[in-house]
């Protein structure tokens, strides 16, 4: 059967290459309309419509995203605005996120995950930046697909089509289109909704960094950082800054001291730590002692234990800063990521696929992810129930690094990704050795 699969991989690779213009169009449409976490109404609409065209059964809403587990939901006005901009595409979308299911007789269930959200980065307007040069740069201020999720969604739809066209596999594929990966918010409520409880295998990919060029694959991403995302609201008392500053309680100063304290949290001799105050909004008028401040921040650790130590330290920072200025503070956890480990068996399958495909992939064993990922919630749930999980990296992003304003992907990677994902399904459903 192995030879059979090799043959079929070749065909899948050819078909995938032929689809590249169409995939490119999809990706550019998504890139032009980036949607930040929990506002992926348009993206979900595009995905749902396409999956239905291809014959997939589609689940959305609470079947797919458990409402009680949702964290970091944006303000109503933001959600309304996104929904409005999505227009008809969002009509039946209660909450971003969708699962497409295709069954082909008896066989194992393979779940593949693709994340959909954009990042809060303003896209470069440099005429040399390809999305600008070719007219598909972000049409929204301060939101951009700077982490390649537009490519991930496109790869998911490409794999969906390849699998729908291939009659020869047996089993079930579940394509998970996840909202709100940034901030570690979307995976957990999908896991809580049970979408991978019936999965025998789970796989996902991420566009690799600048050191993984087009045509290369890392079989495993490692060093998933544990992370916690938080918001703090300081509440003080406003007063006239020139007439009676002594009657004020300065929330902005509290936030500044909390920020410096957070960034001064000690490094750790046992492993990596990271900390970031990503957003600070405080005050109203120049001559008013600021009574309110909102901070969004995160801490990360190389292990769950280190992350917990950082989280504990962060709590002290917030509480101490509030005391310092005599203001109140409330903190809320808006997202969390945990660690996880890919299964060697899955890596072996991917190595075989990558090695057997007509694309002459250069294969690396492992590369550090350099960040947090909530796909780890899917990975752990599947592994806890006896299944196998994989998180791999695909070469082809441009050299400027994720989350920068000039991030871009080499679109030829879209065909690579769709082929690898479809190939994994064929392999895992036992369609060949």
**Could you tell me how far CA 419 lies from the centroid of its own chain?**
21
In the region spanning residues 150 to 179, those forming contacts with a copy of itself, defined by CB under 8 A, are none
Q: Judged by CB, which is closer to a copy of itself: 24, or 268? A: 268
**What value, to the nearest 5°, has the Cα angle with vertex 375 and ends 98 and 227?**
125
Task: State the Cα–Cα distance between residues 99 and 90, nearest whole angstrom.
Answer: 16
Per-residue tokens: 413: 């990677």
Task: State the Cα–Cα distance between residues 223 and 394, nearest whole angstrom.
Answer: 16
In the region spanning residues 291 to 330, those forming contacts with a copy of itself, defined by CB under 8 A, are 293, 296-298, 300, 306, 309, 313, 316-317, 319-326
- Find where tokens 């995950």 sit: 113
CB of 299 to a copy of itself, least distance (A): 10
CB of 409 to a copy of itself, least distance (A): 16
CA end-to-end span of the chain: 6
Q: Which of 48, 137, 193, 252 binds a copy of itself (CB under 8 A)?
A: 252
Q: Which stretch binds a copy of itself (CB under 8 A): 284-292, 350-358, 381-389, 409-417?
A: 284-292
CB of 171 to a copy of itself, least distance (A): 35
Contact residues for 231 (Cβ-Cβ < 8 A; gap 6+): 294, 295, 296, 297, 331, 332, 334
**Residue 268, interface with a copy of itself (CB under 8 A)?**
yes
In the region spanning residues 327 to 356, those forming contacts with a copy of itself, defined by CB under 8 A, are 334-335
Residues 403 and 409: beta-carbon distance below 8 Å: no
CB of 381 to a copy of itself, least distance (A): 23
Residues 433 and 1: beta-carbon distance below 8 Å: yes
Torsion angle of C-alpha atoms 154, 155, 159, 160, degrees rounded to 10: -30
Q: How far is CA 97 from CA 67, 146, 170, 178, 414, in A?
A: 12, 20, 26, 5, 21
**Residue 75, interface with a copy of itself (CB under 8 A)?**
no
Q: Judged by CB, which is closer to a copy of itself: 36, or 338? A: 36
Q: Which of 165, 284, 345, 365 binds a copy of itself (CB under 8 A)?
A: 284
Rg of the chain, C-alpha, whole Å: 23
In the region spanning residues 183 to 242, those forming contacts with a copy of itself, defined by CB under 8 A, are 183, 209, 225, 227, 229, 238-242
Residues 425 and 9: beta-carbon distance below 8 Å: no
**Residue 51, interface with a copy of itself (CB under 8 A)?**
no
Task: State the Cα–Cα distance between residues 30 and 256, nearest whole angstrom.
Answer: 37
E strands of 11-119, at which residues? 57-60, 98-104, 109-115
**Residue 243, interface with a copy of itself (CB under 8 A)?**
yes
- Find where tokens 């239905």 sit: 52
In the region spanning residues 362 to 381, those forming contacts with a copy of itself, defined by CB under 8 A, are 369-372
Q: Which of 18, 267, 362, 385 binds a copy of itself (CB under 8 A)?
A: 267
Provide the b/e sequence for 117-139 (b: ≥16 CB within 10 Å): bbbbbebbeeeebbbbeeebbbe
Q: Which stretch binds a copy of itself (CB under 8 A): 84-92, 197-205, 261-269, 423-431?
A: 261-269
Q: Judged by CB, which is closer to a copy of itself: 357, or 397? A: 397
* Phi, psi (deg, nearest 5) at residue 225: -80, 140
Give the number of residues in contact with a copy of itself, rule: CB under 8 A: 87
Q: Which of 125, 281, 330, 385 binds a copy of itself (CB under 8 A)?
A: 281
Q: Which of 29, 74, 130, 283 binds a copy of itself (CB under 8 A)?
A: 283
CB of 245 to a copy of itself, least distance (A): 4
CB of 229 to a copy of itself, least distance (A): 5
Number of helices followed by number of strands (H, E) in the chain: 12, 12
Q: Judged by CB, which is closer to a copy of itself: 119, or 342? A: 119
**Residue 398, interface with a copy of itself (CB under 8 A)?**
no
Q: Which of 78, 84, 133, 260 binds a copy of itself (CB under 8 A)?
A: 260
CB of 192 to a copy of itself, least distance (A): 22
**Residue 80, interface with a copy of itself (CB under 8 A)?**
no
CB of 134 to a copy of itself, least distance (A): 23
Q: Judged by CB, which is closer to a copy of itself: 109, or 119? A: 119
CB of 270 to a copy of itself, least distance (A): 7
Contact residues for 177 (Cβ-Cβ < 8 A; gap 6+): 43, 44, 47, 97, 98, 99, 100, 114, 115, 116, 153, 156
In the region spanning residues 93 to 122, those forming contacts with a copy of itself, defined by CB under 8 A, are 119-122
Per-residue tokens: 421: 């994902």
């Amino acid at each position: 059967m192995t030879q059979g699969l090799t043959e079929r991989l070749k065909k899948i690779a050819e078909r995938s290459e032929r689809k590249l213009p169409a995939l490119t169009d999809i990706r550019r449409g998504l890139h032009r309309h980036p949607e930040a976490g929990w506002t992926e109404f348009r993206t979900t609409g595009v995905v749902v419509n396409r999956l239905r065209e291809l014959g997939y059964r589609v689940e959305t809403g609470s079947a797919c995203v458990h409402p009680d587990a949702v964290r970091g939901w944006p303000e109503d006005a933001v959600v309304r605005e996104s929904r409005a901009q999505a227009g008809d595409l969002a009509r039946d979308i209660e909450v971003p996120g969708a699962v497409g299911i295709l069954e082909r007789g008896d066989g194992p269930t393979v779940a593949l995950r693709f994340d959909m959200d954009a990042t809060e980065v303003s896209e470069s307007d440099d005429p040399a930046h390809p999305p600008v040069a070719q007219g598909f740069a972000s049409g929204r201020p301060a939101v951009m697909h700077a982490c390649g999720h537009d490519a991930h969604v496109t790869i998911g739809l490409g794999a969906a089509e390849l699998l729908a066209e291939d009659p020869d596999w047996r089993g079930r594929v579940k394509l998970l289109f996840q909202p709100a990966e940034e901030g570690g918010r979307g995976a957990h409520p999908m896991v809580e909704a049970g979408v991978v409880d019936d999965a025998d295998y789970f796989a996902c990919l991420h566009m690799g960094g600048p050191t993984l060029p087009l045509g290369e694959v890392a079989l495993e991403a490692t060093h998933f950082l544990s992370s916690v995302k938080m918001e703090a609201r300081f509440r003080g008392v406003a007063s006239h800054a020139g007439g009676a500053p002594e009657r004020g309680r300065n929330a902005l100063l509290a936030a500044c001291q909390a920020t410096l304290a957070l960034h001064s949290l000690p490094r750790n001799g046992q492993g990596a730590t990271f900390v970031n105050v990503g957003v600070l909004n405080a005050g109203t008028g120049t001559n008013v002692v600021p009574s309110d401040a909102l901070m969004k921040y995160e801490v990360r650790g190389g292990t769950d234990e280190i992350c917990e130590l950082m989280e504990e330290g962060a709590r002290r920072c917030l509480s101490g800063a509030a005391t310092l200025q005599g203001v109140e503070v409330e903190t809320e956890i808006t997202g969390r990521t945990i660690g996880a480990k890919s299964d060697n068996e899955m890596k072996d399958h991917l190595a075989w696929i990558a090695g057997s495909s007509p694309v002459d992939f250069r294969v690396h064993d492992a590369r550090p992810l350099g960040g947090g990922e909530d796909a780890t919630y899917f990975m752990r749930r599947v592994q806890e129930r006896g299944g196998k999980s994989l998180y791999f990296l695909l070469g082809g992003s441009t050299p400027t690094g994720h989350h920068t304003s000039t991030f871009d992907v080499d679109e030829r990677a879209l065909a690579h990704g769709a082929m690898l994902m479809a190939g994994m399904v064929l392999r895992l459903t036992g369609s060949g050795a």
